[in-house]
Structure 1
Amino acid sequence: MKFKALGLSVVLGLSAGCASGKPTALERRQAVRDSLDKTYRSTEGFQTVRWGMTPEEVRAALPEASVAPDGTLRLKTTIAELPAEVALGFLDNRLAAVDVFFQEVAEPRTFQTLMRDLLTRKFGEPKTAREVKRQVKWGDVPVRFAADLAPLQEADGTASAATLESALAGQGQFKVLNRWTTPESHVNLTQWTLPARGIMAIQYESAKYAPKREGLIGRYTAKARQELVKEL
């Protein structure tokens, strides 16, 4: 009975708050969280951009980035003397994920050793091989792309169908070589295999926004493809 009375008092308290026009405790807490989300800027990210930046802030920091035909923000650059294609993903207009694809890696093992060293200098020691294998097996290392997030503008359907992510999602097989986690970032060094070639990728994700992506049906996720099956 005491528990029932307590529950009733909570409900009545919330109702009273709504009826009086004053914000309830839950509403006040949500307002504080919303305010913090708007001002959140991580100390980590990719190059000069940080998690939580708006598209305008990212484009100011990376002026070479532009909106691609698929509607996502992309840039082509050189990293470790190799050409790289970078895709930047936004969740609720906040930078939440970055993918860096290397399509011309002649010596994958040498590349992995170099990237492991550089990323360890930035993010600390990676997970052990056993930990990574266990996490992948349990599904704790989701395979998703920055381009799965909402595009900045309406995409050209023809162009978006021909993206690298579409090829990887449809035909590629992956192996997570190394993984780093910090309170701010999740980073995977991944080797992708397509029928005719291999691709190395560094996939960065904001730890803050990662939970919000779990239920998201992106253009290149397995869940999105399962939805498409229903149309056939």
Structure 2
Amino acid sequence: MALLVVLGLTACTSRSKGPSPQARRDAMREWANQGSDYRSTEGFQDARWGMTSKEVNALFPEATPIGGGALLLKTTIARLPASVMLGFLDDRFVAVDVSFNGVDDVRERHALLRDLLTRKYGEPVRVRDTAEEALRRAGEYRTVTEVAVTLGQAGISASGWPEASPSKVQVEMRVEGPSEELLGAVRDAQRDFKVWNQWRTVESRVKLLGSKSPVSSSIFIEYESVRYSAEIARARELDRQRMMKDL
């Protein structure tokens, strides 16, 4: 089974540690005891990790079978049209990819989905925003106000107080600030960026990715079963080995 997105993001900022090691050990013992009867309390909508494809298909009768035993569902999620791929290994429900394409405002929609997922799974364990990273790399400035003035954002004076009329803003470089090269990188990052969050529970790993470029914009959510994480990793490695033969 191939997942829709391969995330090449590193150096993420941790906010919390997720489930404790003891909680993981307790869950693993419970999974072993349940064996083939395992059905998670989590998954996607009413589908639960460990369900058979027949059980999941009964929940989504409008889903279409596709290659690798997966099911493809066209639906609406959070008032956005979405394509949902429901993935299986050895006829067990293990993963979901949700793609929202043609998103009009990536940051606004990403913020909404992040809030909804946080309400469901708690605070994300990792957060990344490449536009904010670019801003930090321009870190020779002393305050955020100076950055705003340097970039010529209307409505902020050199003193840091809002101007009565944005048209009267005076942009003056009286302090040592980031180089023009760094400022250019910051401007580019506002037009071409990725925002990424990850959640982790005893049963699930969830990733939310928003991507914006001058030519496209999209949002993805990936869900994976922790119970089947080793099997998923082995399936990915086998898939890479098969692809390697093409080279």
Larger Rg: 2
Aligned to 1:215: 234
- Residue 96 of structure 2 corresponds to residue 98 of structure 1: yes
* Structure 1 residue 199: Cα displacement: 2.0
Task: Give 5+ residue unaligned stretches, structure 2.
Answer: 1-29, 131-191
Aligned to 1:41: 39
1:44-193 alignment runs, 5 A limit: 44-68=42-66, 72-129=70-127, 175=194, 177-192=196-211
- Identical positions, percent: 46
TM-score (norm 2): 0.56
Distance 2:40 2:193 in 1: 29
- Aligned to 1:56, the other structure's residue is in SS state helix
Deviations 1:68-107 (A, max 9, x none): 3675311100111110000010011110000000012110
Aligned to 1:21: none
2:222 to 203, 208, 211: 203
Q: How many residues align?
A: 157
Q: Which has the higher contact order (CA 8 A, sep 6+)?
A: 2
Gap change, CA 1:225 and 1:184, over 3 Å in 2 = same
- Aligned to 2:40, the other structure's residue is in SS state coil
Distance 1:84 1:218 in 2: 28
Task: Give 5+ residue unaligned stretches, structure 1.
Answer: 1-31, 134-172
Distance 1:37 1:174 in 2: 43
CA contact (8 A) 1:185 1:207 kept: yes
Q: Which has the higher helix share?
A: 1
Gap change, CA 1:71 and 1:174, over 3 Å in 2 = farther
Distance 1:66 1:174 in 2: 33
- Aligned to 1:203, the other structure's residue is in SS state strand
